[in-house]
């Protein structure tokens, strides 16, 4: 998944990032996770949101890696709050 996002041009990545933020907002308003919201879209509308799951996966990995670095640097207690 991540490899697809890495291969995109910067402008494509920025566009998918914007769509990802929009998808998060729409899913939240619908009371759904982004993946559930995407799954409920009609087949004809899914193409617009094609890069969103990959972008979310990248954001999640970056968050985990950053959290690990903070815990390693400052200790578990300080990294959590």
- Compute the distance between CA of residue 72 and CA of residue 23 in angstroms, rounded to an integer: 33
Taking only the tens place, the pLDDT of each residue in 20-32 is 999 999 999 999 9
Backbone angles phi, psi at 10, to 5 degrees: -55, -40
- Compute the distance between CA of residue 48 and CA of residue 20 in angstroms, rounded to an integer: 11
Taking only the tens place, the pLDDT of each residue in 4-15 is 656 656 678 888
**Domain spans in the chain, listed from the N-terminal domain onward:** 2-80
pTM above threshold 0.75: no
Helix/strand/coil (H/E/C) assignment for every residue in 13-59: HHHHHHHHHHHHHHHHHHCCCHHHHHHCCCHHHHHHHCCHHHHHHHH
């Amino acid at each position: 998944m991540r490899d697809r996002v890495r291969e995109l041009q910067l402008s494509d990545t920025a566009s998918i990032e914007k769509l990802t933020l929009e998808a998060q907002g729409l899913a939240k308003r619908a009371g759904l996770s982004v993946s559930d919201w995407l799954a409920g879209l009609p087949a004809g509308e899914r193409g617009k949101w094609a890069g969103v799951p990959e972008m979310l996966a990248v954001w999640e990995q970056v968050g985990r890696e950053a959290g690990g670095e903070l815990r390693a640097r400052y200790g578990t207690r300080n990294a959590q709050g």
